[in-house]
Every structure is written in structure tokens, then in C-alpha cells.
Structure 1
Amino acid sequence: MMKVQVISREIIKPSSTTPHHLRNFKLTLLDQSLPPIYVPIIFFYSSNSGNNVGILEKVQQLKKSLSETLTQYYPLAGRIKENGSIVECNDEGVEFCKAYVDGQLSEFLKQPYVEVLDRMVPCNHQRARSGRDVLLAVQANLFDCGGMAIGVCIFHKVADANSMATFINVWASTSPGIGKTTSPDVQSSTLFPTEGHVPLLQFIEKENVITKRFVFNASKIASLRAGPSTGSQVGCPTRVEAVSALIWQCVMRANGEEGSMRASVATHFVNLRGKMSPPLPENSFGNIMVLVASVATEREYHENMQRHLEQKLRDAIRRADLNCIKELQTPNGTMRIIESFNSLVGVDFCHFSSWCRFPFYEADFGWGKPIWVSTCTLPAKNFIFLIETRWGDGIEAWVNMEDVHMAKFEQDQELLSFVSPPSTA
């Protein structure tokens, strides 16, 4: 197994000072409700980029462009105040690490061990060290061959996956000096309440969680979506609905006793930018999303469980509409939604976060687009990331489960009938 050795750490600050009138960035109640964790993502770049830029020169380029981009994305260079409701945009900076990997990128991609991926992201991505910790951290991992993996962690209380994708692409376009720097739209605090008390969303953290990657290629997903419909189903399920429903029922089987099914709740984060009236621009910064839930009880075991769960997921996602947004915009709206989730006891949860359609594979820092984009371990029970494959037609599911349940999950015959051999090509 390859070793990853961090050889330097430094703080990168914005290239220009944040104006005084922008020093306080208010967090919405939805921001404040999220757990204090970092969201990790890793971008892999081949050395065959067609230019003569050396690997150390690339690192310097990354740092310079990061500093310039932070001038526009100034909240990421700040620190959260002790009351937890405001980011003090004080230009304290972000963490940048450089690490060496003792091996070839091509060899690593043949069998990318999660234990190695975990070491390719900076700091302890799994938990915040304190409320005054950095909100963004980057690690440039340099392979012997000249390839590179850029690990990025963003503190979840300040940004969702959409914000993360936008920031990284702006940073990438700034790197070669030919892109236009796009300022983020930071109006979320004017759209959703920022004052009041809201409980934290409760995700069950476990020490014995392990992470496995399951790949669904285009043909397997097409076969999954084309299954027999139910009388209540309207239209063909989306790729995300179909894959989520399959994983959900397999998780239920893995968590339950032989031949039985426990009550289960599946959650999905839904991006609200396009659902607002008028729609928000894609560069809107913050957590502009809502968590929706689908419930399956013990008595609901269905002959065609796949279609049944797909419809439940679709109904839940459709509830993230203008009425839901208006509820979130009321003073107690976020609190009522979060409390409704936290009050559910005696059921298993299956949490989904879909990064499909976010342009992570467009992040070109001047030496080509990434050949693979991955995440790594998140120590949250039954938490699943869905990421598009390189060519955008398949889905990689990164499943975090307790080891005892993972042993059953990964042997589920229905799951295996749709999973393709892992490939990063």
C-alpha cells in the first residue's frame, strides 16, 4: 500500500484585504444546523498534460491562484465566531499542505485503497478541531510519475456541494491566468433566517465505519431504470432515484434480520437554487439546500420494492418546492424541519448526498481535466455519496457503513447484479 507523507504545511491568505463592510458573513439557521464536519473531495491529474510545467511549478501556481480566488471567496479565509452564527472574514487564511506519494498514479488507480485516499486530504477531515479552525484546507499530493492528486476539504457549515464545485472551478480557471474570476453571490443570509436557535442535524457517527466504492455503469443503470413499473409510478425514474432506491433496499436487508426488514428513512439533500422564485444563480454561496425524507415501514414490504422505493424518493424530492422554501424562510421553519428528523427514533437512516451534475470533472488548473474524482471515508453510519463517473454516464456510490453490516451489504445478490467492476478509466 502506498505511503503518503506530508512534508509542508502553510497558510494561504487572500491576495488583497477584505473590505471592512464585508467582514461579517452571517450563517443561516440551515448552515448552523449542519454537523461540524469537513466535506472531502480529491481530484486526480495525470502527468501527461501536454505542457512543460514542472510539478513544483504547478504547486506554486496552485497557491498563487488560490490566494487570488480567496479575494472573491473571502468567507472561506475567515473563522467562525464563538457564537457559531457568523463567519468573521478576517483573512486569516486557509491551510495548504504538500505531500509526496511513493508510487505511480497509474498503479494507484488500478486499486485505489480508501485508507490511502483518507491520507490524501488535509487535516482531520472527519471532524472540526475547534470552532476557530480553518474553513478550507487543501493538500497537493505529488506522485513519483509527476501526477498529482488535489485533496480539498470545505467546512460544511459554510458551503454545500454546489458551492464547493463552483469555488473549485473558479480557482481552477484562475490558475492558468486565462480564466475570469467570478465573484460568489452571497445573498443566502438575506433569503433565509439567521437569528434564533436551531438544533444540530443528528448523524450517527461510528468508529467502526468502513467505506466501499460501488460503480454503476450506463448500461447497468439503464437496465435498472427499465424495470417493470407500478400502478402508481409516473414516468421513468432518474438515475439518482434508481440507484438510491437499489442501495436503500440493500441497506435495509443488511441492517435487518434474515428475511425481515426494519423501518427505514432515506434522506436526500436537494439543491434549492433552481427552485427559488426567481431562480438563484449557480454561484450562490452557502448551504442553499434542504433535507427531504422518505419513510419505509416494516409493513410496507412490496413485491416490486425497487419501483416502490423509487416512487417514495421521487415524492420526497418533489416536496422540496416553493411551499417548502416558504416554510424555510419563516423564523421557525428550519427548526421544525430539523426537529422532525431528530425526533425519529427506532428506525434506521440511510443518508444520500448526490453530487451528480455538479461540474467537478471540469476543474482544469491548466494541465488538463481530472482523470478521476473521488471522496473518502466519512465516519457516519449509512451515509452514501453519489458521484458521476468521468464521462458523466455512470455513477459511483461511496457507501459508509458499520463493518458488520457492510459484510452483508457487499454480498447482496441484487446489488451485485447491477454493480460493474471498479474502473477509473
Structure 2
Amino acid sequence: MFTIDCNDQGASYTEAKANFTLSQYLQKPHLNTLNKFLPRHPNILENDPDFQVSIQVTLLACGGLVIGACVFHRVVDIATMVNFIRTWASFCRGDYREFNNFQDLSLGSSIFPQLTSLFGDYNMANYGNHYFSQGKNYSVTRRFVFNASAIAVLREKAKSDAVPNPSRIEALTGFICKRLMVAVQKNNEKPPSLLFISHAVNIRKRWDPPLPENAFGNFTWFAAAFYSLSESEMEVSDCVETMREALEGINGENLKELEPERAVKKLIESIGIIYENDEVRDYRPVWVAHMGDAAKGRTMHQFMFIEGKIGGEIELWMLFSEEEMAMLENDPEFIAFATPNPSISI
């Protein structure tokens, strides 16, 4: 759908210095300063960035360092970025075997060829308004940690006949969904009628036949789960059932039916419907690490899961408006399971 004009300028590299140690910073992480470790402002709409990859190395007072990386999302997804960083790290160790993990860069374009005929129909303004906050109602970032025992309790709550063994992420997402439903209904005179959660799905393994896990490009589709806010009795297990059904719908058979032109049209149509409908509140959970304070360029609603440092724990990074964040932070049942921004052990 888009082309990337390579200017052969390579990657941007920046060095910075900080006057604190790593242990000092991790004792009580200040999320609003995380972006200072990045080489450019994250999560903003850029049509033609100077560099596809930008790196910043920040040297700390203790002799340690922090590596911050930004990539042009139109070129790669998180799986490709992780593969790139893993290969880079292997090169630094003198191990060049990882180089073989880079697949033919033409694989993505052969499956999803450029669609110039649709370019005029693709409304970048609506895309930007849907995925990025506008005006004063911008997102703020908060970090919470669920320990192994809390997750075990939530997995029990998430069980049902349809989903007898929910995953940790399904249980946490179902729990957050339920608490969001309660918060939205309680704190809005005219709450939206639907809660929409869009799950970013890596389709490499779901393609038929499966694609290499290190296939270069964007191989992401979205599983949409809708929850009626009128169903006040919906429990965590009900939320998980709806989520599992949406995820199981992203399979090889259904993906093959979405040939490129039809797939793009469907995505554009879905974004338009959600953006134009005030009765829908949408959230997007993704399995990636994230950056710090949002400011006005950050995406509007997201929650992200990251493996914690202590065995079995999971970090939850949330990006909501200040009003919505306050709803959850003042929700006793949410805080009973989630610890706000604890120290990071090293």
C-alpha cells in the first residue's frame, strides 16, 4: 500500500549521559522521563522520517548504559524489531550465525503486494484520529505489576466450560475488561453502549502454511472483541470467552479469504466505523514493552503486558486519559490485584 524510499543514510545514532545510576532510577521508576532515553519522540505520525531506525545510547553514572531504539512502524512490526535487536546483539558478541535468521525481505510484499488503487481511499486523517490522541484529552502512562499469586486467582475467575484453561494474558485482559466496564458505567452519566477491545495478533504462525517467525515486515492483524455495557452481570469468564472466540477467528482459513485488497478495505472500514461511533469505547492490548509519558502525540487507549523480573509476575503498562486512569486507580478491586509502579529488582 505504501512504498519506502531508502535514502541510504543508514541508522541514526546518538549518545547521551545521565548523572544517576541504574539502581537509583529503578528504585522508583519515573515513567514520564523514559522518553529521554529515546532518540526521537515516540508514537507520532511521521510520513517521511529521515531514518527508518534511530538508536540512542545513554551512559549512566554507574558505568552502565541504556539503549533506546525507535523504528518506523510502517516498515516493521514488533516481532521484526525484536529479531533485528537480537541479531545486532549477536553481532556484538561476535556471533554471526543470527544473520541467517533474516529472511528474504520480499516475503511480505509477495503475500501483500502494493495496492496503489486503494491509496486514495485510505483516509490518513481518520487513521490518525483513531490511533492518536488529539487536543487536551491525551493519554497518561501508568505501570502496575501482577504477581504470580494474583494471576493464579484471576485465572481461576476466568475459567468456564468454553475456556477451561485460560492463559495468563487472557485472564488479565478479561479482568481489566470487567473493571473498565464497571468504571465506565459508574463514572459516566451517559456511558457508551459498547466496549471494544482490539487484540494485535502475530499471524506468522496462523498463516497456512505457517510463515517463518523471523519473516521481515508487518504481519499483524486485529481480533476485535465487543462487550455490551448493558450486560452488567458479565463476569471475567464471560469476557475471556468473547476474547477467545475473537482470537480463534484469526486462523489460516479466514486469513486466506482476506486477499490483500479485501483485507485493506475491511481494515479501513472497521477503523471508520469505530472512529465515527460515539457509542463505542475502544482499547488495544499488545504484548510489547513501551515508552514513557504520552504527551499529545501518544496513542489514546492501550494496555501492554510485559514479563516481569520475578518469576511468574507480569507488568501491565496502561495508556488512558487522566480521567479514565483515575477510575481504575480508585477501584479497590483492581488495586487489590495490581501493585502500582513497584521498584524493579536488578
> Smaller-chain TM-score range?
0.7 to 0.9
The correspondence for 2:19, drawn from 91, 102, 105, is 102
Does the CA contact (< 8 Å) of 2:208 and 2:253 recur in 1? no
The correspondence for 1:321, drawn from 227, 232, 251, is 251
Q: CA offsets per residue over residues 334-368 of structure 1, 9 Å max, x none?
A: 2113312321212100111113xxxxxxxxxxxxx
Residues 129 and 338 of structure 1: CA distance in aligned 2, closer, same or farther (over 3 Å):
closer
Is 1:239–2:172 an aligned residue pair? Answer: no
Counterpart code for 1:350: Y
Does the CA contact (< 8 Å) of 1:98 and 1:139 recur in 2? yes
Q: What is the CA distance between 1:236 and its match in structure 2?
A: 1.5
1:342 is aligned to 272
Counterpart code for 2:337: F
2:141 is aligned to 211
1:278 is aligned to 209
Does the CA contact (< 8 Å) of 1:225 and 1:238 recur in 2? yes
Residues 350 and 132 of structure 1: CA distance in aligned 2, closer, same or farther (over 3 Å):
closer
Q: CA offsets per residue over residues 113-144 of structure 1, 9 Å max, x none?
A: 01211211111223145414322111111110
Residues 174 and 228 of structure 1: CA distance in aligned 2, closer, same or farther (over 3 Å):
closer
Q: Percent sequence identity over matched residues?
A: 29
Q: Name stretches of at least 5 consecutive residues in structure 1 with no aligned partner.
A: 1-28, 30-84, 356-372
2:112 is aligned to 192
The correspondence for 2:51, drawn from 115, 131, 134, is 134
1:287 is aligned to 218
Counterpart code for 2:28: Q
Number of matched pairs: 323
Counterpart CA distance in 2 for 1:338 and 1:300 is 29
1:251 is aligned to 180
- TM-score of the superposed pair, with normalisation by structure 2: 0.86
Q: What is the CA distance between 1:149 and its match in structure 2?
A: 0.9
Counterpart code for 2:13: F
Question: SS in structure 2 opposite 1:131?
Answer: coil
Bigger mean CA deviation after superposition, 112-121 or 334-343: 334-343
Q: What is the CA distance between 1:179 and its match in structure 2?
A: 3.7
Is 1:331–2:261 an aligned residue pair? Answer: yes
The correspondence for 2:196, drawn from 265, 268, 290, is 265
Question: SS in structure 2 opposite 1:150?
Answer: strand
Does the CA contact (< 8 Å) of 1:118 and 1:377 recur in 2? yes
Question: SS in structure 2 opposite 1:274?
Answer: coil
Counterpart CA distance in 2 for 1:130 and 1:336 is 22
Question: SS in structure 1 opposite 2:157?
Answer: coil
Counterpart code for 2:344: T
Does the CA contact (< 8 Å) of 1:192 and 1:328 recur in 2? no
Counterpart code for 1:299: S
Residues 204 and 256 of structure 1: CA distance in aligned 2, closer, same or farther (over 3 Å):
farther
Residues 298 and 374 of structure 1: CA distance in aligned 2, closer, same or farther (over 3 Å):
closer
Counterpart CA distance in 2 for 1:354 and 1:236 is 20
Does the CA contact (< 8 Å) of 2:15 and 2:57 recur in 1? yes
What CA RMSD, in Å, does the superposition of the two structures yield over aligned residues? 2.2
Counterpart CA distance in 1 for 2:243 and 2:171 is 9
Q: CA offsets per residue over residues 289-333 of structure 1, 9 Å max, x none?
A: 101110011222225x21111111111111111233113324222
Residues 164 and 308 of structure 1: CA distance in aligned 2, closer, same or farther (over 3 Å):
same
Q: What is the CA distance between 1:253 and its match in structure 2?
A: 3.2
Q: Name stretches of at least 5 consecutive residues in structure 2 with no aligned partner.
A: none
Is 1:416–2:335 an aligned residue pair? Answer: yes
Counterpart CA distance in 2 for 1:253 and 1:203 is 24
Question: SS in structure 2 opposite 1:301?
Answer: coil
Is 1:307–2:224 an aligned residue pair? Answer: no
Does the CA contact (< 8 Å) of 1:185 and 1:283 recur in 2? no
- TM-score of the superposed pair, with normalisation by structure 1: 0.71
Q: What is the CA distance between 1:391 and its match in structure 2?
A: 5.3
Counterpart CA distance in 1 for 2:158 and 2:195 is 23
Question: SS in structure 1 opposite 2:177?
Answer: helix
The correspondence for 1:390, drawn from 291, 306, 309, is 309
Counterpart code for 1:375: M
2:286 is aligned to 353
Counterpart CA distance in 2 for 1:236 and 1:386 is 19
Q: What is the CA distance between 1:252 and its match in structure 2?
A: 3.1
Is 1:400–2:319 an aligned residue pair? Answer: yes
Counterpart CA distance in 2 for 1:199 and 1:286 is 22
